[in-house]
């Protein structure tokens, strides 16, 4: 079954009968091991409340190292501008800090002027 990431906080049934409900917060990861839960999460994706994500074993990565989010085909996931508090393009919902650019020193190139001698009579 698939794994989903919650984009909008919503209550969701935790049992097939719907007798128990849990509030799912933003960035919660939901594993759908049961068929009823998979169907429910697909409805959430259609409504824009969740997105399907591919979860990889990231235990060997540093905790602070940002990882780009990918879909089930391995393509990069774009950020959704309608959710300004979450950046879906990065795992964990936060983009890495931008590095300051340093300007390279450039030297001015000078070209030698060609001189031509006029023939004198």
> In terms of residue numbers, what domain contains 37?
3-93
In a domain, 38, yes or no: yes
Mention every residue, 6+ apart, whose C-beta is less than 8 A from residue 54. Answer: 3, 70, 71, 72, 74
Mention every residue, 6+ apart, whose C-beta is less than 8 A from residue 55. Answer: 3, 29
Q: For the chain, what is the mean pLDDT?
A: 80
In a domain, 113, yes or no: no
Q: Domain count of the chain?
A: 1
**E strands along 1-121, which residues?**
3-6, 10-13, 21-24, 29-31, 50-53
In a domain, 45, yes or no: yes
In a domain, 112, yes or no: no
The answer to which of 30-39, 56-65, 70-79 has the lowest mean pLDDT is 56-65
Q: What is the largest CA-CA distance in the chain?
A: 112
Of 51, 48, 63, 62, nearest to 27 by C-alpha is 51
In a domain, 117, yes or no: no
Could you tell me how far CA 118 lies from the centroid of its own chain? Answer: 69
In a domain, 30, yes or no: yes
Residues of the chain with pLDDT > 70, as a percent, come to 78
What pLDDT score does 119 carry?
A: 64
In a domain, 108, yes or no: no
Q: Average pLDDT in the 34-57 region? A: 85
Quote the radius of gyration of the chain (alpha carbons, Å): 27
Query: For residue 60, is pLDDT > 70?
Result: no
In a domain, 100, yes or no: no
The predicted-structure confidence for 65-112, as pLDDT tens digits, reads as follows 778 888 888 888 888 888 888 888 888 767 777 777 766 777 777 666
Q: What is the pTM of this model?
A: 0.45
């Amino acid at each position: 079954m698939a794994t989903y990431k919650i984009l909008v906080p919503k209550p969701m049934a935790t049992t097939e009968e719907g007798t128990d409900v849990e509030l799912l917060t933003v960035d919660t990861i939901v594993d759908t091991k049961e068929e009823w839960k998979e169907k429910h999460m697909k409805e959430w994706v259609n409504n824009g409340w969740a997105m399907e994500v591919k979860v990889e074993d990231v235990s060997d990565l540093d905790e602070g190292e940002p990882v780009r989010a990918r879909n089930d085909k391995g393509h990069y996931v774009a950020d959704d501008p309608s959710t300004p508090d979450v950046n879906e393009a990065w795992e964990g919902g936060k983009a890495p800090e931008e590095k300051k650019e340093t300007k390279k020193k450039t030297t001015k190139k000078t070209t030698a002027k060609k001189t031509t001698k006029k023939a004198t009579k």
